[in-house]
Each structure stands twice: as structure tokens, then as C-alpha cells.
Amino acid sequence: MKKQISLSLILCISALSSFAQFTFIHISDMHVSSIPFQNSDTNAQYFQCYIKEFAKLNPKPAFVAVSGDISNVGNQSPDGMYPVITQYLFPPNLTNPGVGDYFIDSARTIPIYFVPGNHEYWVALVNPPVSNDTLTYYKKFLSPDIDYAITTNLAVIVFLRSGSDSTITAENKKGRGLTDEQCTYLRNILRANSNKRKIIVMHHPAVNAIGTNSDGTPFTGVINSPEDCSIANNRNNFLNICDSNHVDLVLDGHEHQNVVANRTGQVIPENGSDSTRYVQTAAAFNRSYRIITIDSSYVTISTPMRSCTSTGVNEVINPLNISVFPNPAAEKLTIECTGQSEIEIFNIEGQLLKRLTTSDISTTVDLSDLSGGIYIIKARNQKGIAIKKLIKQ
């Protein structure tokens, strides 16, 4: 296996030195994609919506922490799709941005910090995905390919790269994990801040367990053990480092679900445990997030939150009328367009599932082969393009 580059950085947020407590936002799994949705990517539009909400929260968050899978195919030429979200960040048009160079507000008071996920390494969205161990566009458009730590007078927050895909099957999508050098870095930075609250942000869950979807329904994925979809290299070493250094939280995503577990994979409440809490936050493309509050005695995790619940995306581009009903739909869907149109149905990660041509009146689509979830319907004819979101029951 290839070793990850053992580069690291320590940043100090002096603006927080006088606060008795502060909050920040945790999000994960944006999966933005300029293909096939181009400027109509709903994931990016939701990103634009929820960062505006975050900037208006009271108390104002100190920063936003993003634990990977920012892009759907992060190594895809020519830009890894990252400008789809950086167009909404401040300042605009950065070249090779440094850690913390981007902000979610125009006043540049709330920075946004990134760590890569396995999709950052993907070159093509196929099955199985084509991956590259070198991050090309992530570091060009978003952030350096390094581990780093943010320190305040109350806490140290460590951002760790958990690597590209090691094992990828339908039931177990493991990351390569941590190098020995990364473990040494982590141990040293935690020991140097032994008197502070300690939080780690990474993409793959070090401990997995069955939780809930973004909407609160039970998670239906298969998790056979706490190691499923975790990290392949240095997992036990990482857990031991967390134990011996009294880490409060490990924040991650990857599984697109909400759950808090202890080291053994037992599901526990968000707050109350004195041991390390392994926290997953459901996908940001479903507008999920958590608020983390830090004071000198404890780190509090909010229950799963949802942003932009009353704000829809801009669904129609150009004057093409389209009706989709029923929505939500079960087995059959009716699509009505103005004029004969090409219809494409994609899953939320941008994979084309169906392509058909409608009549001038209406067309019935069989959905029995699709599982429950969110899909995107794209209609196109000489009058323009329309995008609709479909919920499949």
C-alpha cells in the first residue's frame, strides 16, 4: 500500500482565546457534481442554501468542519467539480488555497475547513470506481493535502486524512486508513494539548453502528461489525490513541447516517459518556448537520439537525414546463412535458439510471426496479431544460 504524505500543520485561532465556550458546525458528504447536472446540481444548490443558514445562527459558529466527500468524483478532469461549491465561498477564485483560506460569509468571520473523503480520490464514477491515490484537484481548488490541527485555549481539533478506498464492496467500503507517521503526529499533538478538549475530524468512521437516516427513519445499510466501512490500517492503534489521550469526539461521515457509538460499537446517546464518542453525521446533500459546543468541562453534540427545510432548490431552468406525479411515488410515475422530451433519471450521486422519450401528452415510468430514496429527473427539449426532485417510496 502507498504511504500517505506525512505533512502536517497547526493553526491557532486567536479570536477564540477569550471565550468560555464556542460552537462549530459538522457536515459531511456533500457529493457535489457538475456532471450531469452542470449548473443545476441540487447538491451544490443545497450547499449554497445551508451555508447561508449557518452564517445566521445565534450563537454564530466559529467555523464549519467538513469531513470528506466534498466532490462526487474529485479526481475527474478538469477540476474535480470543486468550483461547483467554491463559487459560493469567500474570497472567490483562490488558486491553491491554504487551510482556512475559505469562508462561508462575505465578512470572512466563519472559516470552512475540509478533510478529504474516498470520493476525493475517484477518477471515474463506474462500478467499481476508478481511484487514484494522489489528490490533484482537491489541493488545487480546495485545500492542501495535509493533516492539520486547529488549537484554541479550550480545544484542539485535529483533521486527519483516512485515505482512498482499500476495500469497496456493496457492504463494506473501507478506507486505507492511517500511516504510522500520522499516528505519531496525532499522538504528539494530543499530548501537547493534554489540558484541552480533544476532537478529531476524519471521513471514515473508526467505529460503525446502525443509526438513522437524515429524515430519522432507520438506517437500512448492512453493518456486520464496528469495523465495517472503517479504516483498514492502524484502526486499533487509532482507537488506543483516542482512549489514552481522552479524546472527546471523533466526527465523521461516509455512511450517510446519524449515529453515536462507543469503541465497541454500542449505540449511545449524544451526550453523557466520558469515553470517546464516535459520531457520524448524515449526508450534507440531504441537508444534515450537527452543532458542536465546546467549553472547558465538556463537548456537547446536538441531535441531528436539518437545514433548508423550507427552502427548495431552483428546480426549473429555462421555460420548459414539466409535471411529475405522484411525488412521492411508489411503483409508477407519470411525467408530462410541453412537447416531446428526452427524460433522464439519476440517483443522488449522479449515476444515470433511466433514459426515455416522452410523448406530447404524458408518459408512465416504471419505478419498481428503484429502491426508496431521492432521485433527480432531468427533462430536455428544444424549449429548454427542467430539473425535478423525485422521492421514491
pLDDT in tens, 62-74: 999 999 999 999 9
Rounded CA-CA distance 306/242 in Å is 29
* Residue 98: per-residue pLDDT: 96
Mean pLDDT throughout 16-28? 87
C-alpha cell read off for 161:
486524512
Q: Return mean pLDDT, the chain.
A: 88
pLDDT of residue 36: 54
Q: Say whether 316-392 and 8-306 share the same fold.
A: no
What distances in angstroms separate CA 70 from CA 181, 245, 309, 321, 338, one per listed residue?
25, 29, 21, 32, 36
Contacts of 43 (CB under 8 A, 6+ apart): 30, 31, 32, 33, 72, 284, 285, 348
- pLDDT by residue (tens digit) across 192-215? 999 999 999 999 999 999 999 988
Three-point CA angle 204, 303, 68, nearest 5° = 25
Q: At 279, which helix (H) or strand (E)? A: strand 277-280
Q: Find all residues with CB under 8 Å of 211, minimum gap 6, and list them.
A: 219, 257, 258, 259, 260, 267, 280
For the four alpha carbons of 261, 264, 265 and 267, in that order, the dihedral sign comes to negative
Per-range mean pLDDT, top range of 15-24, 106-115, 363-372:
106-115
Amino acid at 331: E
| CATH top class, domain 8-306 | alpha beta
| C-alpha dihedral sign at 294, 299, 302, 304 | positive
- Find the radius of gyration of the CA atoms of the chain: 21
Residue 191 has pLDDT above 90, yes or no: yes
- Angle between helix 235-244 and 180-192 (nearest 10): 10
pLDDT at 18 over 70: no
Q: Is the pLDDT of residue 365 over 70?
A: yes
Domain boundaries, the chain: 8-306, 316-392
Selected residue with higher pLDDT from 384 and 46: 46
Residue-wise pLDDT for 260-302, tens only, equals: 999 999 999 999 888 999 999 999 988 899 999 999 999 999 9
Chain position carrying cell 467554491: 86
One-letter amino acid identity for 372? G
Burial class (CB in 10 A: 0-12, 13-18, 19+), 5: middle
Give the domain 316-392 fold.
Immunoglobulin-like (2.60.40)
Confidence of residue 372 (pLDDT cuts 50, 70, 90): confident
Q: Residue 44: its pLDDT value, please? A: 82
- pLDDT grade, residue 354 (50/70/90)? confident
